[in-house]
Amino acid sequence: MEHFAPHPKSVFEGYCSKFDLPSGAHVALIICSVPSATSLPPHMVSFTYYPRNGFPIFQREHWGPSIERIETSPDHVFELHILGMGSMAVDTDSTTTYDLKCKEWSLEGMTASHTPWREGKNTPEGWLVGLPLPLHWHVHSLCSPAAFRLEIPSIKLPRTNSFPSSHIWIQAHNADTNSGICLAGDKIMGMHAFILGYRSPSLSIDLLPPFALSCLGISPFMSTDIDYGNRAVSITVNNFWDRIQFGLGSPFLEGHMRNFCTESFLAVVEVEAFERRLWSWKEVKRERFEGASLEFAGGYFPERVEKEDRASSSRIQRTARELNEENEKARKEGFASSSGSADRSDTVSLGVSKPRDPKTVSKDKNNRESAPVRAS
């Protein structure tokens, strides 16, 4: 669990949780810090509610002066304490507790356990985790039963000494077949590097550098086609014995982090897995995932410049004086809040409840779901 615990010397560190609700909607929660930030608030909490059909999206970004990263015991038990909002805490057995509240939304719950990346390997980076890389990705849990309105949570943690110019993230899970795929990819200094894992009851495949690495677009083991214009990705990676190839397409309605990245929970992923048989490859698994997650960021998201231009001519732009006033208010009252451009007037609130039949979903007039949720 030490890879998931806070790293005080990191330039950037973020904790990301995605929850799949039984209604088909999704919740994305991001808690991140840039401790040495100079001009902008150093800490952010982002909450996004993404309906089943992708619209309308409810999103809030809360900026503030303080997120305390506290290790509460020598066993890497820790808590993220967000001033004016609440906390996310991880216990010795990896149980994760959420207790976050503000005027516009609330989220409370607790996972029951966690599923590591694979048996005998608790981080997707493997031997790479000890190297001084610019960016590290850690997957704390592939799937975790939970005691609140959530069935399968998945938590990813990026920590970095410099953020990549481009990155992509893909995640899909099928509760019926107990299978899933997870991929994170970055572009730094002309190199494209990916960490990929595919899990099913019969297969457990990991592919990472040096196999999942290209330099100036050249690699003997990997080919990629990342096409934001067509909202599509195609990647093939192999080592000496295993090969994974998959393609996916997705609609995008709104970016979840202003001017830097955009994410959809409506992606469709088609995966093909192969094993080496003497001098040829034999297909051993083919699977299709719907309702998957796909994120384009940085150089992979060309529209970020257009969004920035639009923002500069709208009320989203703040002068230095306004920002200073907002920061001063945040210090006195807690975190400041800003709305995503895909706004909606009602409030989505998730509260604690006993597990019930995930097929039984009802909503009250305030759009509160009363059944367990699935998060992944």
Whether 169 shows a pLDDT value over 80: the answer reads no
**Residues of the chain with pLDDT > 70: what percent?**
53
The CB-based long-range contact list for 217-222 (8 Å cut-off, 24+ gap) reads 217/192, 219/192, 222/192, 222/194
Residue 326 has pLDDT above 70, yes or no: no
- The answer, as to whether pTM is greater than 0.75, is no
For residue 12, pLDDT beyond 60: yes
Domains delineated in the chain: 1-163+330-376 (2.40.370), 165-312 (2.40.370)
Mean pLDDT of 106-128: 71
- Residue 283: the pLDDT is 92
Q: How confident is the model at residue 351 (pLDDT cuts 50, 70, 90)?
A: very low
**Higher pLDDT residue, 251 or 241?**
241
Is residue 369 helix, strand or coil?
strand
Number of residues that this document lists for the chain = 376
Provide the 10 A C-beta neighbour count for residue 53. Answer: 10
**CA angle at residue 1 from 8 to 372, to 5 degrees?**
110
According to the model, what pLDDT value does residue 267 have? 83
Average pLDDT, the chain: 68
HSE, CB side, 13 Å, CA atoms: give it for residue 174: 18
Does residue 359 carry a pLDDT above 50? no
Checking 312-318 for CB contacts under 8 A at 24+ apart, the result is 316/258, 316/341
Least confident range of 21-30, 181-190, 364-373: 364-373
Q: Which of 38-47, 105-114, 310-319 has the lowest mean pLDDT?
A: 310-319
How many Å apart are CA 99 and CA 314, to the nearest integer?
A: 34
Residue 93 has pLDDT above 80, yes or no: no
- Minimal CA–CA distance to 339: which of 105, 55, 108? 105
**The pLDDT value given to residue 335:** 57
Q: Which helix (H) or strand (E) holds 331?
A: helix 320-333
Asked whether the predicted pLDDT for residue 71 surpasses 70, the reply is: yes
Query: What integer pLDDT is reported at residue 120 of this predicted model?
Result: 66
DSSP class of residue 320 equals H
pLDDT score, position 312: 42
Q: What is the pLDDT of residues 222-231, one digit of tens each?
A: 888 877 777 7
Q: What is the pLDDT of residues 23-66, one digit of tens each?
A: 777 888 888 877 776 766 778 888 888 877 776 777 788 887 77
Checking if the pLDDT of 189 tops 80, the result is: no
- pLDDT of res. 195: 82
* DSSP string covering 7-56: -TT-SEEEEEEEEE-TTS-EEEEEEEE-TT-SSS-SEEEEEEEE-TTS-S
249: which 2 tokens? Answer: 């397409």
- Is the pLDDT reported for residue 258 higher than 60? no
Helix (H, G, I), strand (E, B) or coil at 91: coil
Confidence of residue 253 (pLDDT cuts 50, 70, 90): very low
Residue 274 or residue 361, greater confidence: 274
- 355: confidence class by pLDDT, cuts 50, 70, 90: very low
Residue 179 has pLDDT above 80, yes or no: yes
Taking 3-state DSSP, the helix, strand and coil percentages for the chain, each rounded to the nearest 5, stand at 10, 45, 45
Environment class of 218 (CB within 10 Å of its CB; exposed 0-12, middle 13-18, buried 19+): exposed
Contacts made by residues 116-120, CB under 8 angstroms, sequence distance 24+: 116/141, 116/142, 117/142, 117/197, 117/206, 118/197, 118/199, 118/204, 118/206, 119/204
Which of 140, 111, 115, 105 has its CA nearest to residue 125?
Answer: 140
Cα 310-331-345 angle, rounded to 5 deg: 45
